[in-house]
A and B are shown apart, each in its own frame.
Chain A
């Protein structure tokens, strides 16, 4: 079973967190911090599996992560999941995001948390892998997007525009957030 799915950036700022088991608010934050601490220490050329989180780790659980541009995607799973299977699931997830957002970048995840959650809900339900076929996931999400268009709200487009005119934001920062998470093809 998947216990949690976390996405955070290179600085440890959470961008998405979904827990399939109940933890208290504080524990959740601690888990994010600890996971970031563990994952960020690792080089690029090491394996994608981690054991050893105090909170969510233990001998049963495992962290499986991938690093894309500015974001880390971390899945915390128990022993009933296949490590390599989850690794590919992350890839499917990111590819799906890439398709839905067209060159997905960190900013998309910030301003469309709900959308990302909805995509995730089509893939993983209650900690169980529901669907692994990207096209199927996109079909489901599209069906909902149609619904959305019919009830179009004017604010939606506003966000993107506004996000660039926020005070105190340097151009560089913006660029960093917009680095597309180039999705490499798995071997």
Chain B
């Protein structure tokens, strides 16, 4: 320090000759940024020096102030210079004033008392005739101004709104906005002036006022609905290029202004059809005008898409916006990809279908090298989580967690996983893996989950046992890396539930020994030790040999002293172990062996859920979907109904498959070979002779289950895609079918026909199941097939077993595809009835269809006639440009269509009491019209 001060000292002695130049040089050396960082100068000394220089050398004050700013930025608190900064702002020339204001705004904050000294200066400068001074004051005011002093300067700032200079008006607007943010009550009376600013002849001022309106509209959209027209007009003018060329950026007219306006419109149009209708045109126009050629146009497009999805929906716009999102997601530019994912995340909440076309891209993004993209993808997946894909998604999240370091996104993601775990309780084992639960409330939630349990006692036991087992396993390994709160969770769980372990009875000391070991370890904090001790206390309540505690006085003393004693050979246990072995206890199993057992246990623990669809099974239906969009919901088979289970009679109107009393024919492993009773009695079918039954059903399943050892990455991805997107998208609903399914087998000889029809969506009512076919006659079996859940089409498959020669049973599988069309019947209702029904139905879908023009008929009539002929719909009435149509499922629920000619398309609104019906019907309407 002395060495540093020395040159300064020399120069200060020489002040007489040419002090300033020399001094400046010395100062530059001492206070130069590189110097500061090079020598770790004691801050105290530095500040003394600064103070000395600032107070004694006004001529170079400006230079020193710049250095002080630099010191402050580097983190040295240059508090001694604060008062000098204020002085500079108060007294200096224009240039010094500017620096003074700058320094003040960097040094001080709103609550600083020093600022009170500045109020008068600000007042004076605001009234100055020098434009620069006014600007400076306004800038400083918008950066930091004490809340209590706002009334003092408010009138003057308000006055500036009418200032002839546009720059000043603009800054005044922003300063007022700042006041609004700090103290909303004090600027309430000038809302009318904001409106004036919005109508300012200078677009710059108008732009500034939009900051205010964005905030105001966000807070209360209702109060500003009247301005919608103005905003729409402004946006239309901007988009139309009415602004001066100065406002163009890369030949895009005022892009930031457009973005701002689009955001405001989104807030205004949210959940408000009337207001939204006003802006459809302009939204469409900006979407169209923003050609993809520059970064900034993507920014506009992105905002536009977001607005379109926020305001009251309009089908055509949504379609265009969806296309736009597609472009974003598929873009090779990574920033756009990110925004595309964000946009998808935003819109899937409204329509999960939108994610479907991008499945593969999303999967790619999951493996992206950029962690932010990965994170955004997980966020997206989080939004489309459902009961079917939750396991896969949580797995992906946990995978991400394992890689990422401890930061905000980890905490956030852990929270999400915990949320999912609570929402879908069947992913029980996953929360246990949240060993890096950083947020304090997550362990708590988890423990609550464990303690309160689920609905079934058995499941609770299983989960707790799993927790205990996995924690015991963890404790046997290296524990040093585990976070403290996790160790606490472990201790609590072991203390509460260790008694559930099957080997607990034979070896009660095991868990205790592990905990004891943990207690001895250096890295356990005092808090953690408390948890461990209380766990040990709980465990002691069960009878334990006293030998285990023989050295506890020593141990506890060690614990209390905080000096751990580690007996790594655990020699003190020898006696206990030999005793236990002599008493017939199982010998010690090394960890890997136990792990195997544990894995085995895990597999077993799936048992209670065996009935639900295994993921891979449901996978197959969706894998198909990837390649075949025609059948969005294929059949997925969990068990089939054997033909002779006659209990399964169809009750009209029931829409669920009754499995009670139905023999299970399909198990997890496939067909459970079981002979129909009749056959068994006569001539037992040797199972080996059965050709792979229902091959068409089983094969996709087995394919996915036994993936080839080295599957193509693509295949893997597809598989992943299918498991991720299972259940996302339209669930086509309800329909009952009049069956035309009739399979006849012609042959000579003797037949015994046994039909197995299976599908969760279709149930079969069978008549006589066994028929004799003699000679060359034809036996026709007619079954009424009823669709249990509506979907675009279903596959019906079955098995015909027959015996040509007694004693030689054969079987032939068959399958046929039935479309929803087959199940639709016209519904004859009056217009009045229609109106009543319409109001009572809750599930609706809107879509635009193409109109058909035919001869002399009006397009509406022609279109509706086509639909009537092709889909057996009943046209109730046609009034002007609107038509109403009704239909129902065979023996099932109705669906109503309301059609309106809109421009050159037909806006159709479908309503039904069943959720999936409108979607499926719409699909067929589209198809019918396309074919016409």
Binding site for B on A (CB under 8 A): 13-14, 16-18, 20, 22, 25, 28-29, 38, 42-43, 45-54, 57-59, 80, 82-85, 87-89, 92, 110-111, 113-114, 117-118, 121, 125-126, 128-133, 135-136, 140, 143-144, 147-148, 151, 153-155, 158-159, 162-163, 166-169, 186-187
Contact = CB atoms under 8 A, between A and B. Distances in A.
Given A47-B373, A53-B408, A158-B28, 6 more contacts: A59-B412, A82-B299, A84-B298, A126-B174, A144-B98, A162-B29
Contacts of A110: 33-34, 70
B296 A155 contact: no
Contacts of B259: 82, 85
Given A18-B106, A85-B296, A51 B375 contact: yes
B142 A125 contact: yes
B86 interface: no
Interface stretch (B61-69, B667-675, B743-751, B788-796): B61-69
B138 to A, nearest CB: 8
B915 to A, nearest CB: 32
A84 B299 contact: yes
B302 A130 contact: no
A130 B174 CA distance: 8
A104 B35 CA distance: 22
Contacts of B138: 125
A84 B372 contact: no
Nearest to A55: B408
A121 B139 contact: yes
A167 B34 CA distance: 10
A163 B412 CA distance: 46
Contacts of A148: 95
B339 A83 contact: yes
Interface string B178-202: 1000000000000000000000000
A162 B25 contact: yes
Contacts of A117: 69, 102, 106
What are the nearest 8 A-B pairs in CB distance? A84-B299, A126-B142, A46-B370, A22-B109, A52-B409, A52-B408, A47-B334, A29-B75
Contacts of B333: 187
17 contacts: A52-B409, A82-B302, A83-B299, A83-B302, A84-B295, A88-B249, A113-B70, A114-B66, A118-B102, A128-B211, A131-B204, A132-B256, A144-B98, A147-B95, A162-B28, A163-B32, A186-B296
Contact of A57 (B60, B70, B296, B408): B408
Interface string B92-103: 011100110010
Contacts of B35: 166-167
Nearest to B337: A47
A128 B213 CA distance: 13
A84 B339 contact: yes
Contact of A133 (B24, B69, B246, B296): B246
Contacts of B714: none
Contacts of A48: 335
B441 to A, nearest CB: 16
A187 B295 CA distance: 6
B803 interface: no
Interface centre among B95, B102, B298 (most CB of A within 10 A): B95
Contacts of A155: 20, 24, 60, 63
Contacts of B338: 47, 49
B573 interface: no
B174 A43 contact: no
Contacts of B566: none
Contacts of B294: 186-187
Interface in B221-265: 246-247, 249-250, 255-256, 259, 263
Contacts of A159: 28
Contacts of B214: 80
B407 A52 contact: yes
Contacts of A87: 295, 299, 335
B37 interface: yes
B299 A85 contact: yes
A19 to B, nearest CB: 9
A46 B73 contact: no
B177 interface: yes
B484 interface: no
Contacts of A126: 139, 142-143, 174-175, 177-178
B77 interface: yes
B514 to A, nearest CB: 34
A145 to B, nearest CB: 10
B142 to A, nearest CB: 3
Contacts of B109: 22
A108 B645 CA distance: 88
B38 interface: yes
Given A88-B249, A133-B247, A187-B294, A151 B29 contact: no
A80 B259 CA distance: 10
Interface string B77-99: 10000000000000001110011
A136 B245 CA distance: 12
A51 B106 contact: no
B110 interface: yes
Nearest to B109: A22
A132 B170 contact: no
Given A84-B295, A84-B335, A155-B63, A128 B369 contact: no
A84 B98 contact: no
B73 A14 contact: yes
Contacts of B98: 118, 144
A49 B335 contact: yes
Interface string B143-186: 11000000000000000000000010011001101100000000
A83 B338 CA distance: 10
Interface in B286-301: 294-296, 298-299
Contact of B255 (A85, A113, A153): A85
B394 interface: no
B256 A50 contact: no
A163 B106 CA distance: 24
Nearest to A7: B73
A17 B69 CA distance: 10
A176 B193 CA distance: 51
Nearest to A162: B28
Among A42, A59, A80, max chain B CB count under 10 A is at: A80
Nearest to B204: A131
Given A80-B214, A121-B139, A186 B94 contact: no
Most chain-B Cβ atoms within 10 A of its Cβ — which of A18, A48, A59, A128? A128
A133 B202 CA distance: 14
A11 B831 CA distance: 77
B581 interface: no
Given A51-B375, A133-B246, A166-B35, A114 B21 contact: no
A88 B299 contact: yes
A131 B556 CA distance: 69
B578 to A, nearest CB: 53
A131 B29 CA distance: 37
Contacts of A47: 334-335, 337-338, 370, 372-373
A118 to B, nearest CB: 7
